[in-house]
């Protein structure tokens, strides 16, 4: 089958404003350049803030030693288990609290009280309860993940059109069918916002959780470098944390575009 191309656009350069990914990269690249120049010229202390080139060399050193790969696997497992635990509980409890008066009055108030407790202030209590192994790390991540997703899911379900829920009852749909066909699709945009927020909190919680007597993982590498005053390795570890957050956020954004294609079609029709 022959492919027909628009000869008017062949060879034409795409304007810069049509490349948003390139525009978004300009500011970080400019900051890296300023950072490199300031460190090289002595405007910033090399001991406190090494140049990006020095940080990159430190990262290559860790990578060649094999520490980076092992650390990423262990830290990734902690973040994954904590996220799955917190997200699963958030979706279940938010659905229960949003769909019934019993859940709204019996479940939501105590959860709102717990939400106001500083997450990192619970570290000593978690150590007393669960020791210094993997459990407090995973539970701390799960707790950080829980509340953003819970609040967004609860709000997404409560903002559904009551007529939509009444339609499900009129058609004789069971609870499982209403969840699958009406409630989850209707609340999905808000749920995905909560997923993105929860993923960011998951990596933030991981940074803190891995300070709890970690003997492996990215936090262990950072702590070990701190003991030897290797600021370059510490900064490299923090950059890896941020890159992991950006990658997971990009994945969710891609899934969001795919899952919510129907919204784009509806918007196009309504604009005609």
| 16 has a pLDDT exceeding 80 | no
Q: Is residue 132 part of a domain?
A: yes
Q: Are 145 and 94 in contact (CB under 8 A)?
A: no
Alpha-carbon distance 232 to 38, whole Å? 15
The total domain count for the chain is 1
Return the number of other C-beta atoms located less than 10 Å from residue 272's C-beta.
Answer: 4
Q: Can you give the CATH number for the domain in which 197 is found?
A: 1.10.3720.10
| Digit-coded pLDDT (tens) for 142-192 | 999 999 999 999 999 888 877 777 777 777 777 788 888 888 888 888 899
Domain around 132? 56-259
Q: Is residue 85 part of a domain?
A: yes
| Digit-coded pLDDT (tens) for 258-267 | 877 755 544 4
Alpha-carbon distance 150 to 156, whole Å? 10
C-alpha distances out from residue 79 to 87, 152, 207, 251, Å: 12, 20, 10, 15
pTM of the entire predicted model: 0.78
Alpha-carbon distance 111 to 91, whole Å? 13
Q: Is residue 7 part of a domain?
A: no
- Lookup: tokens for 163: 């007529």
The DSSP letter of residue 5 is: -
Comparing 9 with 161, which gets the higher pLDDT? 161
pLDDT at 12: 58
| Digit-coded pLDDT (tens) for 72-95 | 999 999 999 999 999 999 999 999
Start-to-end CA distance of the chain, whole Å, equals: 33
Task: With CA atoms as reference, report the closest residue to 158 among 194, 186, 193, 195.
Answer: 186
């Amino acid at each position: 089958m022959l492919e027909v191309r628009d000869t008017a656009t062949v060879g034409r350069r795409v304007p810069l404003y049509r490349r948003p990914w390139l525009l978004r990269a300009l500011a970080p690249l400019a900051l890296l350049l300023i950072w490199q120049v300031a460190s090289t010229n002595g405007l910033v202390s090399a001991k406190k803030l090494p140049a990006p080139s020095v940080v990159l060399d430190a990262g290559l050193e860790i990578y060649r030693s094999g520490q980076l790969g092992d650390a990423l696997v262990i830290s990734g497992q902690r973040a994954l288990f904590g996220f799955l635990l917190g997200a699963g509980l958030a979706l279940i409890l938010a659905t229960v609290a949003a769909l019934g008066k019993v859940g709204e009055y019996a479940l939501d108030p105590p959860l709102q009280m717990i939400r106001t407790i500083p997450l990192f202030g619970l570290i000593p209590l978690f150590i007393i309860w669960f020791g210094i192994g993997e459990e407090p790390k995973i539970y701390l991540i799960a707790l950080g993940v829980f509340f953003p997703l819970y609040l967004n899911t609860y709000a997404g379900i409560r903002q559904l059109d009551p007529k939509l829920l009444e339609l499900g009852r009129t058609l004789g749909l069971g609870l499982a069918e209403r969840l699958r066909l009406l409630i989850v699709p209707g609340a999905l945009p808000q749920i995905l916002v909560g997923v993105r927020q929860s993923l960011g909190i998951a990596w933030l919680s991981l940074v803190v959780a891995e300070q709890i007597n970690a003997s492996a993982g990215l936090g262990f590498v950072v702590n070990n470098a701190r003991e030897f005053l290797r600021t370059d390795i510490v900064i490299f570890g923090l950059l890896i944390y941020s890159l992991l957050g950006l990658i997971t956020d990009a994945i969710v954004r891609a899934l969001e575009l795919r899952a919510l294609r129907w919204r784009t079609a509806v918007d196009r029709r309504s604009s005609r």
